[in-house]
Amino acid sequence: MTNLEYLEKNEISPENTENAVDEGLQEYTRLKYIDPNKAVFSKSPGGFLTLKYEDKEYKRINIHRAFPFTRPNQYISVSDSKMNEIGFILDLNEFPEEQRNLVEEELSVRYFTPEIIKINSIKEEFGYYYWDVVTTAGPRKFTVQGGHSNMKTIEEIRLLIIDVDGNRYKINDVTKLDSKHLKTIGAII
């Protein structure tokens, strides 16, 4: 439907078009919160997170944290398999324990981010950085392309690193690194 067809269908004259656009924009940008008392999360036989909400059943949903570092249990976006937003979980702690556990399990898979607790080496070659580290999930070797675009400072002392495969690693406090590796990371970002 073209804009003109929409205006004609809704009997919107040129004089009040601006108000109609404002109302449409307000509706579009209004956040829809998921009521903890009406939502029922479950796992499908295939292991996907599902949702029954407001007389609708979503066989596969996606969840994303709006603020993964500063508010990990608040403002969680819930969308269907086509990425159409269903609504936001305002505070996951308001959900019953069983429901909360299902969502937390899904979030832990999506946001699996081991902490780097020791850097053995960082070597640069042709714009790629080869890391050899020890993480909370064990020893890891990974490659980061470029630097600043795949290494993001979170707050002042936290660092998020994304490797060439999309895996994420974090350093919770860069000030605790030895001076050699702190200088290397400073030069990269």
- The tens digit of pLDDT for each residue in 25-53 reads 555 567 799 999 999 999 999 899 999 99
More confident residue, 72 or 70: 72
Using CA atoms, how far residue 182 sits from 63, 110, 121, 178, in Å, is: 34, 28, 11, 6
**0.75 surpassed by pTM:** no
- Tokens 């059943």, residue located: 57
Burial 39-53 (b: 16+ CB within 10 A, else e): bebeeeeeeebbbeb
- The tens digit of pLDDT for each residue in 71-81 reads 999 999 999 99
Domain boundaries, the chain: 31-110, 116-188
Q: Which helix (H) or strand (E) holds 164?
A: none
More confident residue, 59 or 15: 59
Q: Is the pLDDT of residue 170 over 70?
A: yes
Contact call for residues 62 and 54 (beta carbons, < 8 A): no
Give the Cα separation of 3 and 42 in Å (integer).
40
Percent of the chain with pLDDT over 90: 57
Rounded to the nearest integer, the mean pLDDT of the chain is 86
Classify residue 7 by its DSSP letter. H
